[in-house]
Structure 1
Amino acid sequence: MYQNGGGDKIEKKIVKKLKERNIEAITGLNLRDAYVKGEHIKCNGVNMDELDLFFSYNAGEQTQYQMYLYKALNNIIPCINNFDSFELTEDKFQTNYLLRNSGIKTPDFRLCHRDDSKHLKKFIKKWRQMVYKPTDGWGGVGLTKIDNEATLDTLLPFLNQMDLRFFYVEKFIDYDKTDFRIDIVDGEFVGCYGRKANGSDWRTNVTSGGSVFLREANEEVVDLAKRAAKITGLEIAGVDIIYDKKKKEYLVLEVNGIPAFATPEQEKMGLDFNNKKIDKIVDLIDKKTTVKK
C-alpha cells in the first residue's frame, strides 16, 4: 500500500476491518525487497507464494522487477488487482484498443512504427491537434500536445533518442478542461470527483498542476465506467471520463488500476468515499480468500 497522501492511515483501516473478519494481514511486503529462492518468493521472512491473497496498491512505485514478481505470484495465488488486467491497463494503447473493440468510445488514436513519420504528419493535418502519450506513463508525465507539423518535427528526434519502437498518439479533444474520475470496486460504483486543468494548461492530472473538485456523477458516466472496468477485468478501477463538446458525448480517457483514495485535505473539502471504498475492498478480499480456501 502506498504510504503518502494518507495511504498509511487507509492501510491501518483495511487491516483493522480484515482482522474483524479473522483475516490476518501482513503489511510491508514490497516486491522491491523480495527475492526468489527455489519455489518461494521471499520478502521480509515471508513465503509470499503461501499467502491466501496478495493485495498490491503502490501507485507510482512499480519497477520492472516488481512487475516481474507480481506476474509470477499471480500464477500461484489470487492477486488484487489480478496481474493480467493490471498489466493491460498500464498500457494505454492496449487498453484503448480493447475498449474500442468492445463498444466503448475513446478519443481517436493511432499507433505507428517509429520510422513511419509520414503517417504521423498525415494525422496532424487531419486532426490539427494531437497528443503524444507514453503507453506506460501515469500522472500526465510525458504527455505532449502537438499543434502543428513543426512541433512534430521538433519532437521526433527527441523521441528517437529514447529508443522508442513505436509512437502512440491521440486526437486532441475539445473539452472543458475538466474530467470525471469514477472509482469502481468489484463492479460497483464507489465514488466520483472531478479534476480541472490549471490556467492555460490542458492536463487535469494533479501531478501536472490540475486540481480536484467536488463533482456529482450522472447515470451515464457511472454506466460507462462500470463497463470499462468490466471489459478490462480490473477488480479495482479508476476510470477517467471527459466530455467531447464537438460530438456531444462522453469518452473514456484512461482506466487506472491503482486509483488513489481521497487525501486528508480532499476529505476536508467533502470527498467522502474512502470508507465505502475500504468496505468494498475488504468485502472483495474476504470473497477471494474464501474461494481459495
Structure 2
Amino acid sequence: MATHRVGLWMYQNSGGTEIERKIVAKLNERNVEVITGLDLNDATAHNGSIFCKGQVMEDLDLFFSYNAGQQGPFQMYLYQTLSSMIPTINNYAAFELTEDKFRTAHLLKTHAIPTADHIVCNKHNIQQVKEHLRFWQGKAICKPVNGWGGNGIIKLESERDLDLLLPYITMQNLPQFYIERVIENDYTDYRIDIVDGKYVACYGRQAAKGSWKTNITSGGSVIQREPTQEVIDLALKAAKITGLEVAGVDIIYDIEHQEYVVLEVNGIPAFATPDQERLGLDFNNTKIDYLCDLIDRTIRHRIDLPCVSSEVGLEIERPIDMPSAVNDIFNADLTGTAAATIKDKAL
C-alpha cells in the first residue's frame, strides 16, 4: 500500500511518455503513489486550495514539474504558490531565477563563476550599450532574459547593427534588454546534467554549418563529449549556486581567454530522446535513479522517516524544511564550543 503521494507533470513528446512510465514504476517500488498529468494550466484555486483534475495539490507530499514546452504564465503563477506549501522539484525560487538569463549570470558573477560579459539596460540608456559594444569590438548578442531554444536571439556584428535595431528596441514594451559579449568559440558546447548535486552525464551540441546557435531547436545537433573534471566541477558549482535540484549547465570554451565559461543554467534539461539514445547517449536510467532517490528522500524527510535509497543501506537525515540557520548548526563541527549545546537542542 502506498504511504506517500507525488504529483507529476511530464512532457509526453520525444520519449517523455516512456520516461514518465519508468519514474512511476520506480517510485511505486518505494511505496510512493504517483498522480500523473497534473498540468497546473488546468487548475483552479479557491478556499485555500489548488485543485487540478480532482486532486487537491496541497495534499500531495511533493510535486515534480518537468515540461518546458507547455509551461505558461498561469501555470507558473500557481507553481509559485504551491511551492510555498509543499516541496516541489525544482523549488520555485531557484527555477524562477534560472528562467532569467541576466539574474542567473549576475548571481554567478558575484560568486566568481566565469560567465559571458554582459550588460542589462532599458531603452532609455542605450548609449551605455554602445560604449560596451565599442569595448567588445562591436560584437554582441541581444537576447530575451527569459527565452529558450535560441528564440529571439539577435547577433550584432557592429555598432551599426545596433543602430538598425534601435527602432525595434524602442517600440518594444519590455522593461529590460540583455546583451552579451560574443565569445570566440568552436561553435560547440557542453551540456552537463546534474541531479541532487551529483553529476549525471555530459553531451555536446554543435551548430549547423553556417550557424552559430548550438540549440537543437535552432538546427544544432547532438554530439558525444567526454568532459574534463574541470568542466564537471564548474557545472556542479554553478548548479549549487542557483539552488536547482535538477539542472542542465551549458558551458563553452572561450578561445580568446582560454577558459571555460557558463552560458546558461537550465531548470528543465531534457532527457535523451530515443534517437539520441541510439546514438549512444545512455544517461536516462541514471538520471531517473537519481531523481527517484531525490524525490523519495525529500518526501520522507518531511516527516523525518528513514529513506530507501538505490544505494546500499538506509539513510536517516534531518527534515529538509529545517531553517537554514539550523542546517548550518547541523553541519558544523562544534565540539568543545558553547554552540554544541545549541546543536544538541536543535537535533
TM-score (norm 2): 0.83
* Match in the other structure for 2:208: 198
Which stretches in structure 2 are left out of the alignment for 5+ residues? 1-9, 304-347
Query: Would the aligned equivalents of 1:133 and 1:142 in 2 still touch at CA under 8 Å?
Result: yes
Which stretches in structure 1 are left out of the alignment for 5+ residues? none
> 274, 278, 281: which is aligned to 1:268?
278
| Paired amino acid for 1:199 | K
| Paired amino acid for 1:81 | N
Report deviation, 1:122.
Answer: 1.2
> 218, 222, 232: which is aligned to 1:222?
232
* Match in the other structure for 2:85: 76
Inter-partner Cα distance in structure 1 for 2:34 and 2:240: 27
- The count of aligned residue pairs is 293
Inter-partner Cα distance in structure 2 for 1:242 and 1:110: 19
Instruction: Specify the SS of the correspondent of 2:13.
Output: coil
Residue 133, structure 1, aligned to residue 143, structure 2:
yes
Inter-partner Cα distance in structure 2 for 1:135 and 1:150: 23
Mean CA deviation greater in 171-180 or 142-151? 142-151
> 10, 23, 30: which is aligned to 2:39?
30
Instruction: Specify the SS of the correspondent of 1:194.
Output: strand
Structure possessing the higher relative contact order (Cα contacts under 8 Å, 6 or more residues apart): 1
* Match in the other structure for 1:210: 220
CA RMSD of aligned residues (A): 0.8
> 153, 163, 167: which is aligned to 1:143?
153
Report deviation, 1:133.
Answer: 1.2
* Match in the other structure for 2:112: 103
Inter-partner Cα distance in structure 2 for 1:89 and 1:127: 25
The 1:127/1:210 distance shift into structure 2, 3 A limit, reads same
* Match in the other structure for 2:266: 256
Please give the residue correspondences for 1:103-122 in structure 2 after superposition, counting only pairs within 5 Å: 103-122=112-131
Inter-partner Cα distance in structure 2 for 1:7 and 1:160: 40
Report deviation, 1:161.
Answer: 2.2
The structure having more radius of gyration, on CA atoms, is 2
Inter-partner Cα distance in structure 1 for 2:172 and 2:17: 36
Q: Deviations over 1:229-264 (max 9, x none)?
A: 000000000000000001100000000000000000
Inter-partner Cα distance in structure 2 for 1:159 and 1:141: 16
Inter-partner Cα distance in structure 1 for 2:172 and 2:58: 36
Residue 58, structure 1, aligned to residue 67, structure 2:
yes
| Paired amino acid for 1:191 | A
* Match in the other structure for 1:284: 294
Query: Would the aligned equivalents of 1:124 and 1:147 in 2 still touch at CA under 8 Å?
Result: no
Query: Would the aligned equivalents of 1:179 and 1:240 in 2 still touch at CA under 8 Å?
Result: yes
* Match in the other structure for 2:249: 239
| Paired amino acid for 1:2 | Y
Structure 1 ranges of 4+ moved more than 6 A: none
* Match in the other structure for 1:10: 19
* Match in the other structure for 2:103: 94
Mean CA deviation greater in 26-35 or 58-67? 58-67
